[in-house]
Structure 1
Amino acid sequence: MIVEDQALLAMELELVLGEAGCDVVGCAMDKAGAFEIAERERPDLALIDVNLLDGMTGPQIAQRIVGEYGTAVIFLTANPEQIPEGFAGALGAVSKPFDELTIRAAIGFAREFIRNRTVGAPPRRFRLAPWLTTPPNDIAPH
């Protein structure tokens, strides 16, 4: 599923995903459209822009579809500072502008997570969500 309010970018993403062997189940430009597609299709993966036609609703969409459907989410954003702490359940983020190789690598990373629930090395230009990183060793008190 693609949630992106720039029509040309959404079409480009749909083409890249199709060439990567993904079945794009729908494209939405806002929260209502995203929830409608998610309810109907229950996608395995969603690429979601943080800032949409109806405001900064990408994190709300991510949190709901991760929680309700177990969808793996990758944020797309030109403003990484707008990603909420904890990433609202998303696996990570790709900064705009991006290229086809970056999207393909992010999809590969997500596929591995979906299949095995394991986290491999994050691809280049992919900001890994903090909840997926290994927590630091606890430091024993002196």
Structure 2
Amino acid sequence: MRFEHRDTEIDASIIGRTTFGLLGGYWSKATDPEDLIAAKLNTLPEYVVSSMLNGGEADWSPTTVLRGDPVDRVRRLKELPGNELQVHGSWKLVQTLHQAGLVDVYRLLLYPVGLRAISAGSYTVDEGRSTAVLH
């Protein structure tokens, strides 16, 4: 497992249902062609891991809802040709993919906000689970 930060060539992102609702609600309406982040997020494929979201609700284009076992579905996506799949937010999904050995690289973007207050007391790494040392 490596921890690094660098510019990357992202082919698609994988997010959970809650993160999809948060990101899609804002970024799908950000249409300024000079906004490079919006342009990237609104053109790259989004894969949403959800058993509850239906295709009609996944209206942030181009979005595909992944149903079934997320480990199996992400493993299949990783087998496709391309550069990189990224998970944005979605701490439960990250935990699941980490435990299945499907995380190759962590790129951590840190912002000075009260994450515990925002996430209702949730942490990315639960007590009793494996943690990693950053070098």
Q: Under a length normalisation based on structure 1, what TM-score does the superposition of the two structures give? A: 0.34
Query: With CA pairs under 8 Å and 6+ residues apart, which has the higher RCO, 1 or 2?
Result: 2
- More helix as a share of residues: 1
Using the size of structure 2 for normalisation, the TM-score is 0.35
